[in-house]
Amino acid sequence: MIKKIYVLGAGAVGCYFGGMLARAHQDVTFIARPQRAKALNTSGLEMDCKAFHETIQVKASSELSTLKDADLVLLSVKSLDTERMLTEVKSILPSKAVILSLQNGVANIDIASKIISNPVYAAVVYVAAGMIGQNTMKHHGRGELLVGKLSTASLADETLQDICKLFEGVGVPCSIAPQIKRDMWLKFLVNCSFNAISGIGQISYGEMVKSPYIVKLIEEITKEFLTIAALEDVKISLSEALAANDSIATTMVTQVSSTAQDLAKGKMTEIEFLNGYIVELGKRHGIPTPYNESVHALVKMMESKIR
């Protein structure tokens, strides 16, 4: 039974899904930096969503020790922080606690599983959202989850069924994905296609693809990605990949990427886990990835500029 839910990392993704749970009176605690925890406790979580605009009373804390009674942990810190964060909570989490990673990239599950023995499930998240204040989350569209297990066939997994029921019960579409690794790579693909470029140009997905040069650049990034994916045993056809890219550009027209949001806020981005990871895998496999390398280098430059 999932009773005590913790959101580890109260960014836009954590606040959207944690907020949906809290709004439906689930027992949710947000673990956040002191300033955000204080704002959430004092003023509640303002959810400025497509379907509603409400301020929800929520519990928040910056004390990791509160995690000691966790049933479910929604892991929504930046990929950059996965290793450090799980190392810190390792001795606190009870053995019954289940972790669901809502993060970008394809490296987090492996990183987490190496640190802790709790089961780590994967969620592929499609939501357009951003924090526009300490306790205000702005939702631009979508908000569905695909959940699964990397290791074995997962349709009959009871924990996954519980997680799905939990989310479905609060109005978040959620399905169990029999091939979650492939779904993660498809999401990873669109992150590689859109995040860096949107960040470099501080430009929305809809605006980006108005430039034929960017459409071509995305296609080249995608081709390199698919070569690497195949070497990692993930087969995605070019037409399927381009359709996935297209669907982002058309369902999240006004969205700017989390990379763009991070750069605008003067924060480090997840680029090492996006195009940077493709470049790294390319080196490992001896495959050149010049297009991914170019956008990766430019995002690194933007990061170094703000430090």
Of these, 51, 117, 213, 237, which contacts a second copy (CB under 8 A)? 213
> What radius of gyration do the chain's Cα atoms show?
19
- Beta-carbon count within 10 A of 42 CB: 10
Asked if residue 300 binds a second copy (CB under 8 A), the reply is yes
The structure tokens 């693809």 sit at: 209
- Looking at residues 217 to 246 of the shown chain, list those that interact with a second copy (rule: CB under 8 A): 217, 220
Return the structure tokens found at 168: 């479905």
135 vs 198, which CB is nearer to a second copy? 198
> At closest approach, how far in Å is the CB of 303 from a second copy?
9
Of 187, 126, 118, 125, nearest to 159 by C-alpha is 118
The nearest distance, CB 268 to a second copy, in angstroms, is 14
- For residue 280, the minimal CB distance to a second copy (Å) is 13
Q: Which residue has the tokens 């956040």?
A: 32
Q: Which is nearer to a second copy, 40 or 209 (CB)?
A: 209
CB atoms within 10 A of CB 105: 22
Size of the site for a second copy (CB under 8 A): 26
User: DSSP for 241-253?
Assistant: HHHHHHHHHHHST
**Of 202, 227, 198, which is closest to residue 214 (Cα–Cα)?**
198
Instruction: Report the nearest approach of a second copy to the CB of residue 104 (Å).
Output: 20
Q: Hey, what are 188's tokens?
A: 């990873």
Report, in Å, the least distance between residue 305 CB and a second copy: 6
Instruction: Give, as one character, the DSSP assignment of residue 106.
Output: S
Least distance CB 12 / a second copy (angstroms): 23
Q: b/e map of 8-31 (b: 16 or more CB within 10 Å)?
A: bbbbbbbbbbbbbbbbeebebbbb
Task: Based on the shown chain and the rule CB under 8 A, indicate whether residue 265 belongs to the binding site for a second copy.
Answer: no
277 to 296, contacts with a second copy by CB under 8 A?
Answer: 290-291, 293-296
Q: Is 274 in the site for a second copy (CB under 8 A)?
A: no
Residue 30 or 273: the one with the smaller Cβ distance to a second copy is 273
Show contacts with a second copy in window 183-212 (CB under 8 A): 197, 200-201, 203, 207-208, 210-211
Which of residues 23 and 296 has its CB atom nearest to a second copy in the complex? 296
Q: How far apart are CA 266 and CA 242, in angstroms?
A: 31
Least Å distance, CB 216 to a second copy, is 7
Q: What angle do CA 304, 204, 147 make, to 5 degrees?
A: 90
Tokens of 120: 């780590």
Give the distance, in angstroms, between the CA of residue 91 and the centroid of all CA atoms in the same chain.
Answer: 25
62 vs 294 by CB, closer to a second copy? 294
Q: Which is nearer to a second copy, 155 or 301 (CB)?
A: 301
CB nearer to a second copy: pick between 26 and 204: 204
Contact positions toward a second copy, by CB under 8 A?
Answer: 197, 200-201, 203, 207-208, 210-211, 213-214, 216-217, 220, 290-291, 293-298, 300-302, 304-305
